[in-house]
Amino acid sequence: MEYVLQMKNISKTFGEVAALHHVNFEVGANEIVGLLGDNGAGKSTLVKLITGYHRPDPGGEIFWKQERVSHLSVSKARDLGIEVVYQERALADLQSLWRNIFMGRELSNRLGVLDQRGMVRETRRLMSTAMGFTSSAVTPESTVGTFSGGERQGVAITRALYFEAELIILDEPTMGLSISETKKCLDFVDGIKQAGKSAIFIDHNIVHVYPVADRIVVLDRGTIAGQFSKGELKFDELIDRLTHLAQTGQLETNHPKER
Amino acid sequence: MASANSTERPISPAKERGKLARLLRKYALQIAIVFVALLLWAFFFWRSPLTWGSYAIYNSLMSTTPYFALMAIPLTLVVVAKEIDLSFGSIMAWGMAAFSLVFIALRETNPQLGVYLGFLACLLAGLFAGWLNGFIVVKLGIPSLVTTIGTQFFWRGVVLVVTDGQGLGMTVVKDTILYNLFVGRFLGVIPMQFLWTIAFGVIVWFFLNHHKFGAHVYLVGDNVDSARLMGVDVERTKIATFAIVGVAAAFAGFVVSEQVLFLWPTLGDGYLLNTLASVFLGGTSVFGGTGTVFGTFVAAFIIAIINPGIVAAGWTAYWTQLIYGFIIVVSVALQSILRKRLI
């Protein structure tokens, strides 16, 4: 399989806390990877390494489409096409919808003067297409602090879509969403697959991850405890194994070498 | 596209009303502050029509309000970015200390050149002091409240050492173009520093509302984590806001010294309260993320009329400080209440 992202021998320590040790992780082209793990398993740290927010400890290597990336920064990761949909906190509550959509990537001329009209117009278009906002109370000038949880997630997801990411990372996107909003969010992950893009779907709710992921990677206490292709394991079996993992710290896997 | 279509279609009055309501809501704070200014002015006018009916009071307001409005306007950026600066008063004097060093060195040979180069040195000194504030806050991670209390004392100390606590006559400035340019009278009536303050306000407003820099200032103040995650250069943005206040403070210091044609080593003392009050009364939130230059501009003049208003009404000027303090506390409290209702 061709990989868009490959991470080899990745470790990350914060002071004396080892958040990740010797992790190998990859995402294939047009593959949806479900990343499962309990709180503190290292999911967020892994994401922050991929997005260039943190750097791996020496020895770790990151490859983007077979090419080694030595100094990954937030802006470089974005240029490569890595986009993250964070939990709620990714929005600036007091700012308007259009300022949030274009956060950090404002349309402007060469002197940095904002193309406000263009951004408002694009936002209005995205609202009726991608976000599915129908309420007339919401305009591109509305402040996002007044939005519901689902609407906010919609804004964050739309933001990623708009900038044509190659690899979209969804960090617990269903947290705090109602059932219908969750459905909408999962539909979006399907949409990523249809569009030929890749995604990492992070959640601790296996019920959400299982139906949309091609492959599921289980992270536990900073290491990869195991991984399964969707075909090789039924939902119930996966649950059993995860329960076992939670109790013993050991995961039975079909890929012993990945331990 | 949608807007182009809507212009062709007849606009229903209900839709028009909705638009008006939205505009009113969007500019509610700005409209409110203008009303506060007008009400206060009307009240003072009623108490003392003689004072407020003559041009002299407006002439004096236009010449002295810029002394702190010039700093309050850029300070708005710092507060929007969720930081604070308390050192600008000392930076006013520090800029002029740099001026005096250059000026004294050239006084015997070429005093006019000394004024021009001194002015340049003054702005550069202010820029450096502002940048240093930003650097300490951002790179060393020290809260700006603490940092700028420290630099406030530090720069005042530097000024006292450099000037040896002595003042400096600046009458030579009168022979240069800088005098008419900054503190002259436009068409013989309007103080130039007032026009500079307006120009400064327009420039800062433009950068805050219509430039990437301003967009980032808002984002940094609103949600610094998300701004960083979305690729906004948080450090550079914050340092820039401090640096701008530094330059503005040095410039304000030059204007004040030019107006009185004397450099006092205590220059800048007494500007802290009214500058901060202008920013907070102007609707800029102490919690970051919101604020307008227009609000600060109008609020500066509200602050400015309080003192003469009280005196002209026949009350003791001791009330002034009480009211400034009261205004700061009330406007910050109001922001806290508004914020809770918004989120």
**Which two three-digit tokens encode residue B150?**
């420290």
First-to-last alpha carbon distance for chain A, in angstroms, is 20
B227–A104 C-beta distance less than 8 A? yes
Q: Which residues contact A21 (CB under 8 A, 6 or more apart)?
A: A11, A222, A223
**Which two three-digit tokens encode residue A239?**
């649950």
ipTM reported for the complex, 2 dp: 0.80
10 Å Cβ neighbour count for A56? Answer: 22
Report yes or no: A53 at the B interface, CB cutoff 8 Å. Answer: yes
> What's phi and psi for A33, nearest 5 deg?
-105, 125
Output the CA–CA distances (angstroms, integers) from residue B265 to A143, B18, B23, B92, B304, in the order listed: 47, 56, 47, 10, 24
Cα separation, B101 vs A106, whole angstroms: 44
Cα separation, A156 vs A183, whole angstroms: 16
10 Å Cβ neighbour count for A14? Answer: 9
Rounded to the nearest angstrom, the minimum Cα separation between A210 and chain B is: 28
B226–A74 C-beta distance less than 8 A? no
Rounded to the nearest angstrom, the minimum Cα separation between A239 and chain B is: 33
Least CB–CB distance from A114: residue in B215, B222, B343: B215
User: pLDDT averaged over chain B?
Assistant: 89
| Cβ B258 vs Cβ B179: under 8 Å | yes
Express as a percent the part of chain B with pLDDT over 70: 94
Nearest CA in chain A to B211: A113
Lowest mean pLDDT across A127-131, B10-14, B23-27: B10-14
pLDDT of residue A240: 80
pLDDT of residue B137: 96
Rounded to the nearest angstrom, the minimum Cα separation between B225 and chain A is: 8
Least CB–CB distance from A75: residue in B210, B223, B231: B231
Shortest CA distance to A145 belongs to which of B333, B60, B285, B339? B339
pLDDT of residue B6: 39
CB-based contacts of B328-336 (< 8 A; 24+ apart in sequence): B328/B273, B328/B276, B328/B277, B328/B280, B328/B281, B331/B277, B331/B280, B331/B281, B331/B283, B332/B280, B332/B286, B335/B280, B335/B283, B335/B285, B335/B286, B335/B287, B336/B287
Which one of A87, A94, A139 would you mutate to disrupt binding with B, by most B Cβ within 10 Å of its Cβ?
A94
Cα separation, B76 vs A184, whole angstroms: 41
Nearest CA in chain B to A78: B231
pLDDT of residue B256: 94
> B-side interface with A, Cβ within 8 Å?
1-3, 22, 26, 210-213, 215-216, 218-219, 222-223, 225-232, 285, 289-290, 342-343
Cα separation, B257 vs B238, whole angstroms: 29
Task: pLDDT band for A18, please (50, 70, 90 cuts).
Answer: confident
pLDDT of residue B325: 83
pTM of the full predicted structure?
A: 0.81
Size of interface A-B (CB pairs under 8 A): 84
